[in-house]
């Protein structure tokens, strides 16, 4: 009896232990992890508005809508023009020519060589002495070709006329060859003796400036230097 009483509690405890190992409770299984843990995403921080502080994005948008209008580039102002009777306005369309100082005289058909003719030694623009004084139709002038090459264009501001070298001036040649004295002779026209008084009236005292190889667009007066007994005194 005593052995049975001792073995009974031991056997009972063993059966309880076997039952517990063969039938794990669901509560215990719930404690075992079956996969990797997934962390909950952290909440985005919420910017708290600051009273009285404008939004940077809104300020940028407002600035882009209120850009100042572009200022147009200033245009080049047109220079003054000047025209004479029957002439055209000024405003050269190219670089200025070379200024030279020279003696200026005048001659006409009346005192040409041969006298009473408009013959010229180096026809360039004309077959005989003439011209209106424009860039396209300059008036004949005579000189030493060693001083002014044949075909040289000059502009004489006091008379507002262009002239072209296409005749020989014997006195001009002699002066230039003897002592380098510069001298050119502008053609006035005129087949009568009255042209000589006009030539004297037009001739300046001393040497004056003329522009060699001038651009087109200089102020021009196409009134003849001498015509029908009338002289254009400069």
166-179 pLDDT per residue, tens: 999 999 999 999 99
- What is the Cα–Cα distance from 92 to 78, expressed in whole angstroms? 11
Architecture of domain 98-220: Beta Barrel (2.40)
pLDDT at 92: 78
Find all residues with CB under 8 Å of 88, minimum gap 6, and list them: 134, 219, 220, 222
Q: What is the pTM of this model?
A: 0.63
Q: Are 219 and 155 contacting, i.e. CB atoms less than 8 angstroms apart?
A: no
Find all residues with CB under 8 Å of 169, minimum gap 6, and list them: 107, 142, 143, 144, 183, 184, 185
- What is the Cα–Cα distance from 14 to 10, expressed in whole angstroms? 6
Tell me what the mean pLDDT of segment 196-212 comes to.
Answer: 96
Task: State how beta strands 153-156 and 208-212 pair.
Answer: antiparallel
- What is the Cα–Cα distance from 149 to 133, expressed in whole angstroms? 19
Q: How confident is the model at residue 70 (pLDDT cuts 50, 70, 90)?
A: very low
Tell me what the mean pLDDT of segment 124-151 comes to.
Answer: 98
Q: Which position has the token pair 């572009």? A: 70
């Amino acid at each position: 009896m005593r052995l049975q009483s001792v073995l009974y509690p031991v056997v009972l405890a063993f059966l309880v232990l076997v039952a517990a190992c063969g039938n794990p409770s669901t509560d215990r299984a719930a404690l075992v992890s079956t996969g990797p843990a997934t962390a909950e995403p952290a909440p985005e921080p919420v910017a708290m508005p600051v009273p009285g502080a404008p939004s940077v994005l809104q300020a940028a948008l407002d600035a882009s809508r209120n850009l100042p209008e572009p200022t147009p580039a200033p245009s080049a102002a047109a220079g003054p023009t000047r025209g004479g009777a029957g002439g055209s306005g000024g405003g050269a369309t190219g670089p200025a020519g070379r200024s030279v100082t020279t003696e200026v005289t005048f001659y006409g058909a009346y005192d040409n060589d041969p006298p009473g003719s408009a013959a010229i030694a180096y026809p360039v623009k004309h077959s005989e002495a003439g011209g209106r004084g424009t860039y396209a139709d300059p008036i004949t002038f005579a000189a030493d070709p060693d001083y002014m090459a044949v075909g040289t264009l000059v502009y004489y501001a006091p008379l507002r006329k262009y002239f072209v070298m296409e005749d020989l001036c014997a006195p001009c040649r002699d002066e230039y060859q003897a002592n380098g004295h510069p001298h050119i002779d502008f053609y006035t026209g005129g087949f009568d003796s009255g042209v000589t008084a006009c030539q004297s009236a037009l001739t300046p005292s001393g040497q004056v400036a003329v522009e060699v190889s001038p651009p087109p667009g200089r102020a021009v007066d196409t009134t003849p230097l001498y015509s029908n007994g009338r002289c254009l005194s400069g």
